[in-house]
Amino acid sequence: MKKIGIIFAMREELDEFLKIISITRETTIYDITFYEGMIENNNCILVESGVGKVNAARVTQLLIDKMKPDYILNVGVAGSISEEVNLKDIVIGTKMVEHDFDITAFNHEKGFIPGIGVYINNSRELVDICKGIKGSDVHFGVIASADKFVTDKEESKQISKDFDALCVEMEGASISQVCFLCAIPCLVIRSISDSIYKGNNKETYEDLLNEASKKVCEYAEKIIRRI
């Protein structure tokens, strides 16, 4: 039996996964509730981190220290910054970058983190599992994170150009970084809730949040059944 931690930034995302799994145990540490249940022979531990990199990193470390997972998945929604990635498509983060991390004043590349580099690689094992799950609407590539909901089209294009990123969100890279430092296999999975190429980001996001959350949770379940 494997133990799989699943981190969601928001309650809407977590609620969609709660429709998939029967919860057998709840544990609260500080103000964070961890929900446990089984999929196949895997013990899944669900938790809502809150939005942003600090909240995500805090919960990731707490999950690792207290629950001892074998794998961690970060499941949620994101905004597309690629013309190839459409609304409700799935993006598998093969690599992560913090696009707001900037020490270029010291002659480093944008996004470079000392001791880490520009990119954080996610688990090859988990990425390979995703490659075995068919779907023309599934994309593999870089996901970019920052403490900002990006709505400006030119800024989005620049992030895409700088990092060859497919989508942007606010937690994944920090979760991957903590997992990298703790040697825990990690994968970030997103469904697209908004796009710089599809109308108003904020309005589209509000309209599609639940649908995109449902789709990415269903995809995550397929991964878990193959671990």
Whether the per-residue pLDDT at 200 is higher than 70: the answer is: no
Provide the pLDDT for residue 204: 79
Among 13, 48, 171, 221, the one annotated catalytic: 13
Domain boundaries, the chain: 3-224
Mean pLDDT over the full length of the chain: 95
- For residues 4 and 220, what is the distance between their CA atoms, to the nearest angstrom? 11
> Token pair 């598998």 is at which residue?
92
**pLDDT tens, position by position, 20-65:** 999 999 999 999 999 999 999 999 999 999 999 999 999 999 999 9
What are phi and psi for residue 129, nearest 5 degrees? Answer: -60, -45
Would strands 71-80 and 165-169 be described as parallel, antiparallel, or unpaired? antiparallel
Confidence of residue 207 (pLDDT cuts 50, 70, 90): confident
Whether the per-residue pLDDT at 199 is higher than 80: the answer is: no
Whether the per-residue pLDDT at 153 is higher than 70: the answer is: yes
**pLDDT tens, position by position, 58-104:** 999 999 999 999 999 999 999 999 999 999 999 999 999 999 999 99
pLDDT > 70: what percent of the chain?
99
Provide the pLDDT for residue 206: 84
- For residues 207 and 146, what is the distance between their CA atoms, to the nearest angstrom? 22
Among 89, 98, 171, 194, the one annotated catalytic: 194
Whether the per-residue pLDDT at 6 is higher than 70: the answer is: yes
* Angle, helices 124-131/201-224, rounded to nearest 10 degrees: 90
The closest alpha carbon to 141, from 119, 156, 158, 125, belongs to 119
Q: In the CATH hierarchy, which fold is given to the domain comprising 3-224?
A: Rossmann fold (3.40.50)
Active site residue 194: yes
Whether the per-residue pLDDT at 203 is higher than 90: the answer is: no
Provide the pLDDT for residue 77: 97
